[in-house]
A and B are shown apart, each in its own frame.
Chain A
Amino acid sequence: MAKSILVVEDEPNIVLSLQFLMKKAGFDVRVARDGEEALMAVEERAPDLILLDVMIPKRDGYDVCQTIRANPEWSDIVIIMLTAKGREVDREKGIALGANDYVTKPFSTRDLTEKVKQILDSSG
């Protein structure tokens, strides 16, 4: 079965690209447009990986990350934060709250695709 990815983003322009890239790489892609929608999607069916923007409406990315990590059942989900917050302390906060990686915008689409592929391939 294809690995599943949840894209949590409220900016349609980048959703367009991410959805396109991940589908093309052969993953099953769902999209959530705010924090609450994201958590509902995870509850409905836990994805293998989440591309999580920090600045999203309702509950922010940090909060979504922390909530997911608080549930042991979801400990296998890989969380990659995609964010425009580029300070060292923001990255540290993301990692501290349970993100596996922290990618700042703008990023190279090719690098991101490679990264996702590598993580999901190695997790079997």
Chain B
Amino acid sequence: MGPRLFLIVCFSALAAASLASVGVGTWLISTELPEGAQDVADIVIVYGGGIACLLVATIAVLWAYLDYAIAQPLSAIVRGIQTVIHANPDHRIEVDDSHQLGNLPQAVGELVGQLAQARSTVSAAILKATESVEHQKTQLGIVLQDLHEGVVVCNLNHSILLYNNRALELLHIAGEIGLDRSLLRFMNRQPILHALTRLSNRVAEGRHMRHAEGVMVSFVGSTTDGRYTLDGRMSLILDSDDVPSGYVISFEDDTEELAALGLRDRLLREATEGLRAPVGNLRAAAEILNSASDMTGEEQTAFRQVVLKESKYLSDRLETLSAQYRDVITGSWPMTDIYSANLLNNVAHRLREQSSLNAMMTGIPQWLHGDSYTLVELLDRVIRKVGAFAGTDTFELEAVAGERHVYLDVVWTGGVVQTSKLSSWLDDQLEETLGGLTLRDVLEHHKTDIWSLPHRDGLARLRLPLPPAIRPPSSRDTRNRPSRPEFYDFELLKKPAQLGQLGGRTLKSINYVVFDTETTGLEPSAGDEIISIAGVRVVNGRILTGESFERFVDPGRPIPKDSIRFHGITDEMIKDKPPVQVVLPQFRDFVADSVLVAHNAAFDLKFLKLKEAECGVKFDMAALDTLLLSVYLHDYTTRHTLDAIAQRFGIEVQGRHTALGDALVTAGVFLKMIEVLEARGVHTLDEAIEASNTIVEVRARQASF
């Protein structure tokens, strides 16, 4: 009951009581009067009525004043407090000055003010804490995204709270994975429940305190669609009272490793137990043939047949088993996919730093499967030995794609290393930390061998075949970016450069820089800019991988979203990069007096030309276009994109769609083209430019229709 209603009730009761007492008093007096005093009785009634009226009026006035001065302000204060609590913390309580509540409104006002202040302090603190948590969450997210392993965080109901890209990649298949969905929809439940039970029991019994693995347990799981076998580890998340509140699972796709392990086991079993019976048969028959002298011709023939049949069976069986064993790709030694450029770069660096030997990388880098550390050790050791043996300090390192292997070739000027000598080097041990591993062991782990052969032009070569990568990034990268449309500025390519003597030189003997640019769009004259430029040197028919140029450029404008699907370069990536005025002169220095080569060269050249004045450099050297040369060489097809040509020449396209990746592929394509051009009678630079020009003219004529 509110204060106003309370007053009404109280004062109504008071009025009723007053009326009742006056009424009863009047009635008693009038009944006590003697007979015949009617006049007095009338007077008493009239006075009683008057008193009653006066009482009621007084009570009403009193009520009205109390209601106005006390009850109404109290109600206002109550409403105000409610507003502060539920709606607006900054609300100020207002009460008319005519109230009779003394200091109450003021005191309440102060209290509310202090409450509001305390509250805002608390929310500021909460906000700050939340921001810090958000920041940590973002950091954690970034770390998780970069992890090679899949990571999923769940609560005890298996609802997914957090996951990373790799988890998405491995689990995605069974429908969309998403937050607040059950992990059990994506991973088979039994292994997870079992692991969780083991851990929960371990914690409940307090064993986790002294357990070697604490709150972690390994398990073998699988995706619900059965595509992946997962090598998983589960860790419990404990709250401050050591009560489990959730779990973290990290996992890796172990399908191939486990399959290989299983196959190895089976082969071993078949090679031992499976061969017992046939060897037994063979031995029995041979012994009998040897010892029994009193044998009929028929009996002898029967035993001979056994010997023949069983040895044939053994031969065939052995063949099958060893063929199967060869296919077991992964050994017990841990291996990963490696990019040959990184591997050889490591080798080159070590040779330079520790042995003052020069190693230059050539060719198109390849992806292979191996153990980087021991391979670097092996190559470093062997190359140093070759250096001492052949008396040379300069080497070329090249990765070559073969049908079944990726070859790492080491080339030097001088004699071949005799197999027996090479073989004797392989008994050397690597560093002690590797437990006395020899170079030969490294070869065995990779199921390979190494040999030396004569190379062209009095050079010698060391060849190390290695398994190709199991999942090279090109097969992982499912983004299929569109090719740039063909682009012609006919004037730009038609004009033969002032070549002089260079024009008469053979294509093979000329130094080239094969390059590629990525741009914000297709129209340089409409404000599109270079955002990345890369080139690689080609000398004496070899791609010098180690001598490449690669720069991002700040275009001084935002990168249009539409163009990102072509090049994958975002504003974030070119932030803090130098402008074109810095990069183009650097590129000009890199090019020096080489001939430029590019695919769809007119497009890239146009961008360079437009920046010449601004950058104070000139790109007036001769240029060849692999697109025009392709049209010249393969006029039967209309497919002349870089991908199509690379495929036609059997060049493995790896790391495509970066400026350097594309430049490398273009260089590979260009070298193949030189061979075909020679076969078609195009030998010199002049002749190649002439051949291109005929194509430009044809296309110009086509374009004019």
Q: Which residues of A contact B (CB under 8 A)?
A: 35, 59-60, 62-63, 66-67, 70, 86-90, 92-93, 96-97, 104, 106-108
Contacts A66-B418, A88-B326 known; list 6 others, CB within 8 Å: A60-B420, A62-B419, A62-B451, A86-B322, A86-B326, A107-B315
Bound: A27/B250 CA distance, A: 68
Contacts of A70 in B (CB 8 A): 416
How far is B424's CA from A63's CA once the two chains are assembled, in angstroms?
Answer: 12
Cross-chain contact A96 with B423 (CB below 8 angstroms): no
B318 within 8 A of A: yes
B residues 410-454 in Cβ contact with A at 8 Å: 416, 418-420, 423, 447-449, 451, 453
| Residue B404 is within 8 A (CB to CB) of chain A in the complex | yes
Q: How far is the CB of A76 from chain B (nearest CB, A)?
A: 19
- In the complex, the answer to whether A63 meets B419 with C-beta atoms within 8 Å is yes
Contact of B318 among A88, A97, A106 (CB under 8 A): A106
Contact among A88, A90, A93, A107 for B404, CB-based, below 8 A: A88
Contact A67 B418 (CB under 8 A): yes
Tell me the minimal C-beta distance from A61 to chain B in angstroms: 9
Any A CB within 8 A of the CB of B405: yes
Given contacts A88-B326, A106-B315, contact A97 B419 (CB under 8 A): yes
Are B419 and A96 in contact (CB-based, < 8 A)?
A: no
Q: Point out the residues of chain B lying under 8 angstroms from A108, CB to CB.
A: 315
Chain B interface residues toward A at CB < 8 A: 311, 314-315, 318-319, 322, 326, 404-405, 416, 418-420, 423, 447-449, 451, 453, 463, 465
A65's closest neighbor in chain B, by CB? B419
Closest residue on chain B to residue A98 by CB atoms: B453
Instruction: State the CA gap A116–B374 with chains docked (Å).
Output: 42
A96 in contact with B451 (CB, 8 Å) = yes
Contact in complex: B405, A89 (CB < 8 Å): yes
The CA-CA distance from A70 to B419 in the complex, in Å, is 12
- Residue of chain A at shortest CB distance from B407: A92
Given A60-B419, A106-B314, A87-B447 contact (CB < 8 Å): yes
Residue pair A63, B420 in contact (C-beta under 8 Å)? yes
Q: How far is the CA of A90 from the CA of B465 in the complex (A)?
A: 10
Question: Shortest beta-carbon distance, B418 to chain A, in Å?
Answer: 6
CB pair A89 B465 closer than 8 Å: yes
How far is A96 from B419 in the complex, measured between Cα atoms in Å? 12
Question: A93 to B449, Cβ gap below 8 A?
Answer: yes
Which of A63, A89, A104, A108 has most B Cβ within 10 Å? A89
> In the bound complex, what is the Cα–Cα distance between A63 and B418 (angstroms)?
7
**Chain B residues with CB below 8 A from A107, complex form:** 315
Q: How far is the CB of B191 from chain A (nearest CB, A)?
A: 37
The interface residues of chain A lying within 8 Å CB-to-CB of B465 are: 89, 92
16 contacts between A and B (CB under 8 A): A59-B420, A60-B423, A62-B419, A66-B416, A67-B418, A70-B416, A89-B405, A89-B448, A90-B449, A93-B451, A96-B453, A97-B453, A106-B311, A106-B314, A106-B315, A106-B318
Give, as a whole number of angstroms, the nearest-CB distance from B314 to chain A. Answer: 7
Cβ–Cβ contact B420 & A89, under 8 A: no
B108 → chain A closest CB, angstroms: 92
Give the A-B contact count at a CB cut-off of 8 A.
46
Q: How far is the CB of B390 from chain A (nearest CB, A)?
A: 15
How far, in angstroms, from A67 to B420 measured CA to CA in the complex?
A: 10
Residue of B nearest to A106 (CB): B315
Q: How far is the CA of A37 from the CA of B453 in the complex (A)?
A: 24
The one of A66, A87, A89, A92 that contacts B419, using a Cβ cutoff of 8 Å = A66
- A62 proximity list for chain B (CB < 8 A): 419, 451
Instruction: Point out the residues of chain A lying under 8 angstroms from B449, CB to CB.
Output: 89-90, 93
Q: How far is the CA of A86 from the CA of B325 in the complex (A)?
A: 11
Cα distance A90–B404 in the bound complex, in angstroms: 13
Q: By the criterion CB–CB under 8 Å, are A97 and B447 in contact?
A: no
Chain B nearest CB from A111 CB (Å) reads 11
A89 near B447 with CB under 8 A, answer yes
Q: Which residues of B contact A89 (CB under 8 A)?
A: 405, 447-449, 465
| Chain B: CB-nearest residue to A85 | B449
Bound-complex Cα distance A70 to B453 (A): 10
Contacts of A88 in B (CB 8 A): 326, 404
Bound: A56/B449 CA distance, A: 18
Q: Which residue of B lies closest to A70 (CB)?
A: B416
> What residues of chain A lie closer than 8 Å to B319, measured between beta carbons?
86, 104
Report the Cα distance A63→B448, complex, angstroms: 17
Contact B451 A97 (CB under 8 A): yes
CB contacts (< 8 Å) of A66 on chain B: these are 416, 418-419
Collect the chain B residues with CB atoms within 8 Å of residue A86's CB: 319, 322, 326
Complex: A35 Cα to B423 Cα, angstroms: 14
Contacts of A59 in B (CB 8 A): 420
Shortest CB–CB separation between residue B590 and chain A, in angstroms?
37
How far is B417's CA from A97's CA once the two chains are assembled, in angstroms?
12
Assembly CA distance A104 to B315 (angstroms): 10
Chain B residues contacting A87 (CB-CB under 8 Å) are: 326, 447
The distance in angstroms between the C-alpha atoms of A118 and B462, with both chains bound, is 34
**Alpha-carbon gap, A84 to B423, bound state (A):** 18
Distance in Å from the Cβ of B304 to the closest Cβ of chain A? 15
The 5 residue pairs across chains A and B that have the minimum distance between CB atoms: A63-B419, A106-B315, A63-B420, A62-B419, A86-B322
A63 to B417: give the CA distance in the assembly, Å. Answer: 10
A104 CA / B420 CA spacing, docked (Å): 21
Shortest beta-carbon distance, A97 to chain B, in Å? 6
Q: How far is the CA of A24 from the CA of B601 in the complex (A)?
A: 69
State how many angstroms separate the Cβ of A123 from the closest Cβ of chain B: 25
A55 to B700, CA, bound (A): 67
Q: What is the bound-complex CA distance between A104 and B416, given in angstroms?
A: 27
Taking the closest CB of chain A, its distance from the CB of B319, in whole angstroms, is 8
CB distance from B264 to the nearest CB of A (A): 15
Could you say which residues of chain A place their CB within 8 Å of the CB of B448? Answer: 89
Closest Cβ of chain A to B453, distance in Å, is 6
Min Cβ gap A45→B in Å is 24
A38 to chain B, nearest CB (A): 13
Q: In the complex, how many angstroms separate the beta carbon of B311 from the nearest chain A beta carbon?
A: 8
